[in-house]
Amino acid sequence: MKGLPILLLPKAYALRDSLLLDVKEWQAIARAGFNEHDIDEDGDSDPWWGSKSIRECQKFLGNVDNWDHDSVASSDFGLLWGTNINIHTAAIWTIIEIFRDKDLLSRVRAELSAAGIDGIITDHDIDKLLKFPLLQSVYAEVLRLRADIQSVFCSEREDIRINEWRFPKRSLLLVPTGPAHRDEDFWNTRDGERRLNKFWADRFFVYANDPRSGPRKKIVAQMDKATVYTSTNTAATNSPKFVSSGLSNSFMPHGVGERVCPGRFFARREIIAFCA
């Protein structure tokens, strides 16, 4: 919706305004009623703000120059939207994809039990989970296939030129992820065996001994060490590596540039923990 004329989306704008009013009302009530004594013994939850992270966020945002209570509410509304809408969609799809493929389900379970993780999640467990290649690949493939997002761009200072196209400055550009995420010229389909409109848990895997593996049509030659992990349950000689580098223009489930989703790391953490 960002920057789009209200006439194009009157219902969406009206809904957003009414949800935002709810957030403002909640925050006004919480501000008036909250008392430090209301914080639970665990030091986290309270009946007004809900959790320590929200209380800290209030404190932090309340100190930003020229921000009033309405600005803080708008910012928190974005946060609530991200945590409740985007994250749930991706989490549910991740579970659906894992459970509807028995083979994949047993591979995920094998990866978890090899690392001694049995459903109880501590922060340390989550750190471990984030290094599991199979969970990483499943999550990336869910985002590729299911996160159909429209990013909105606008150049304030100069026209943008892309090939034969010219986009005047200050005009809005809507960039849908769908065509990029399903671009046959870019993504590896193993010569059509693994269609791009279908889920393939191993799409982001590179096997050293399989030149047809890897997310790109061409083998990813330069793998970024920061995004490559070795599987815990596969023979070392043929361990798949999860690869997500070198995909930036074709894989952008969280948008790109300065407005890229600030909740993306939290989302990955929460969804992968939820699956486990």
Q: Are 47 and 29 in contact (CB under 8 A)?
A: no
Nearer to ligand HEM, 24 or 217 (CB): 24
Q: How many residues bind ligand HEM (CB under 6 A)?
A: 21
What is the token pair recorded at 5? 């004329």
Among 34, 45, 74, 82, the residue binding ligand HEM under the rule CB under 6 A is: 82
Helices 69-81, 52-62: inter-axial angle, 10-degree rounding: 140
Among 30, 79, 196, 273, the residue binding ligand HEM under the rule CB under 6 A is: 79
Coil vs helix vs strand at 193: coil
Among 26, 167, 186, 266, the residue binding ligand HEM under the rule CB under 6 A is: 266
Write b or e for each residue in 153-163: b if 16 or more Cβ atoms lie within 10 A of its Cβ, otherwise e. Answer: beeeeeeeeee
Among 129, 140, 201, 261, the residue binding ligand HEM under the rule CB under 6 A is: 261
Nearer to ligand HEM, 206 or 247 (CB): 247
| Binding residues for ligand HEM restricted to 20-59, rule: CB under 6 A | none
| Binding residues for ligand HEM restricted to 138-157, rule: CB under 6 A | 147, 149, 151-152
Among 76, 203, 253, 272, the residue binding ligand HEM under the rule CB under 6 A is: 253
Does 136 bind ligand HEM (CB under 6 A)? Our answer is no
CA-closest candidate to residue 30, choices 53, 47, 52: 47
CA distances from 222 to 12, 140, 237 (A): 43, 19, 20
- CB 147 to ligand HEM: min, Å: 4
Sequence-distant (≥ 6) Cβ neighbours of residue 75 within 8 angstroms: 61, 67
CA distance 134 to 143: 14
Does 262 bind ligand HEM (CB under 6 A)? Our answer is yes
Does 214 bind ligand HEM (CB under 6 A)? Our answer is no
Q: Are 117 and 125 in contact (CB under 8 A)?
A: yes
Which positions touch ligand HEM (CB under 6 A)?
78-79, 82-83, 86-87, 90, 147, 149, 151-152, 253-255, 259-263, 266-267
